[in-house]
A and B are shown apart, each in its own frame.
Chain A
């Protein structure tokens, strides 16, 4: 049997939720919180502990955008493409970030430092266009500010 790769806290969380109905999504959230994504090994472990087939777990993971199957960069960049941000040039921000980092949406830089994601509405439409880097929000972003923002994470 594979080694249990979960922390004690995560195992305790699984034990607590194991018998609650409709627990799978809550547990996967908790797994992602620990690792930043849900790896095949982690999904295996959830399957083993809950007795839910891996296919079911994989079905859920791939259905929801929030769950990531690949390890994100040290700094995960999210560019909002909600309607307000789109109208105010969110796509231009993505393009510019792509150029700066040599990345496409969903990509990861070679050094594993930055990953780039397009997301739907972070709910700060008054600040459009918005991007976040590892949770820090940058509002009213202009194209020419981007390299400066990235430098802060150098």
Chain B
């Protein structure tokens, strides 16, 4: 039985926050009211990725891509599109009749993307296992159970050259193989869904949009390494993803795809959810295992690696959500197919959360080797509000900045490392000319200081000391010797810290020093903040040629720092001014300038 129209409503967290749930119900109600309930199927899907334009509604088979839809629009969508077969032009992306955008893929945001990990996000109902199966799901598991030996699976991953997507890029097949050959009466499979990088939501969207892909991959791993238990360690801050995982696990059990004797193969395997509790360090694998065991999430020295001594001392494979989501596709299409995508150093695709001062914020998946310029300008649509590009931060609090001169660097594990940043888990934050690079470095360090578990001194003390120096610099109290001291402390942290959190914590400072030395100098020597962000280093002044003396600013100033006669240029008393910026917001003539 077919429907005339399929209406896909984005049920990602971003769109749900903009009332997509109400849109979903409104569409169902309207279809009922207008007597076409039997002609349409309304489906709530995972994230479409184009979060900037959300909430998104897509209607098939016409492939109409409606953006920024409101619950009130449901009536019109059903009446026009479904009943009369006419598109609602005003809600289409670019508001033009369909000729201009024949296919959704033609929208510039999607043109350069290639969706492997996110293949089902935005096209299937994540709470319905039948849709996952119809899209080819669980075929890979069947193949692994009945046609492949564990060594075949590992070999396929080796041919594919899949590297861990959590940040470090360790070859997945090696991890699996180490665990497979490790001695142990019991082994475990763990999914790291503790997405702690502030400004990144790739894993959340994958789990919300396609939870079965992760369950299937973890089951394949269990079969391959000889484990019977899997754990998904997920942030408690992701209630929607947790809910969809729970639904997916329940359905998989009902279908005999989890539990005893999976598909009659004699293989027993099940998965449990364990909640994180807001600790960034738990993204580190040994800390994560501690947390699953119910302890404080303190990293442990490696070796022994989890492949030999992991959860409860047993051999354990830990992979990140995105890594898992690639695996069923690799088994389905073969390792060579996967290896044909990307660069020599890094195969496949990478999902990025493109955010910050960019026109098209959203979730993007591109083949490895795509340049940053393509991501920022072609997919991202460039910098918002006509501002000038300054830098992109990848790798979050462990990564670094990438500047204009390196925008054409192909993105892969090696390429990003060579220019002083790192792949990281996929956060990609765009900064414009208004962002102070010293302030951003301070932001990241504050974060790592906050999140340091405190176990080892280089991280605990070093991080705080670095932070203090940056604070001093942004307060206008920086000295020449501070730069040297930053380098010394950073080095000690890199060498002496136990885990990656401490080792990489200085990266944002070091990379911004490398690419923006003049900005640090301006703060230290000239006591100026070029982007006007550091309050202690700026002053508000009135450009007398622009001021018409309307007195609006003087009336708004909370401390009475502005004086002057009506219709004559006003003046700000710098000694009284608290730099709140109200005057600048109030002035309609652009007469208030930051110096």
User: How distant is A69 from chain B, measured CB to nearest CB, in Å?
Assistant: 13
A152 adjacent to chain B (CB < 8 Å)? no
Q: Which of B199, B236, B276, B291 interacts with A125 by CB under 8 Å?
A: B199
CA distance A66 to B54 in the complex (A): 28
With A21-B312, A84-B361, A87-B431 as known contacts, state yes or no: A121 contacts B200, CB within 8 Å: yes
Interface string of B449-476 (1 = CB under 8 A from A): 0000100000000000000000000000
Q: Which of A26, A84, A127, A130 interacts with B274 by CB under 8 Å?
A: A26
With A81-B198, A87-B357 as known contacts, state yes or no: A25 contacts B429, CB within 8 Å: no
Q: Are A123 and B295 in contact (CB under 8 A)?
A: no
Q: Are A83 and B238 in contact (CB under 8 A)?
A: no
Closest partner residue, chain B, to A60 (CB atom): B296
Number of A-B contacts (CB under 8 A): 130
User: How distant is A56 from chain B, measured CB to nearest CB, in Å?
Assistant: 8
Q: Are A126 and B54 in contact (CB under 8 A)?
A: yes
Q: Are B54 and A120 in contact (CB under 8 A)?
A: no
User: How distant is B235 from chain A, measured CB to nearest CB, in Å?
Assistant: 8
Q: Interface size (B, Cβ < 8 Å)?
A: 50
Q: Are B356 and A83 in contact (CB under 8 A)?
A: yes
Q: Are B17 and A82 in contact (CB under 8 A)?
A: no
Q: Are B275 and A25 in contact (CB under 8 A)?
A: yes
Contacts of A119 in B (CB 8 A): 237
With A21-B312, A64-B279 as known contacts, state yes or no: A84 contacts B199, CB within 8 Å: yes
Q: Which of B237, B277, B361 interacts with A128 by CB under 8 Å?
A: B361
Q: Are B277 and A126 in contact (CB under 8 A)?
A: no
A153 adjacent to chain B (CB < 8 Å)? no
CA distance A130 to B201 in the complex (A): 14
Closest partner residue, chain B, to A23 (CB atom): B294
User: How distant is A45 from chain B, measured CB to nearest CB, in Å?
Assistant: 17
With A60-B296, A124-B13 as known contacts, state yes or no: A65 contacts B279, CB within 8 Å: yes
CA distance A100 to B92 in the complex (A): 39
The 3 closest A-B pairs by CB, nearest first: A126-B51, A64-B277, A137-B17
Chain A residues in contact with chain B, CB under 8 A? Answer: 21-26, 28-29, 59-60, 63-67, 81-88, 119-128, 130, 137, 139
Chain B residues in contact with chain A, CB under 8 A? Answer: 13-14, 17-18, 51-52, 54, 195-201, 204, 236-238, 274-280, 291-297, 312, 353, 355-357, 361-362, 393, 396, 427, 429, 431, 435, 440, 443-444, 447, 453
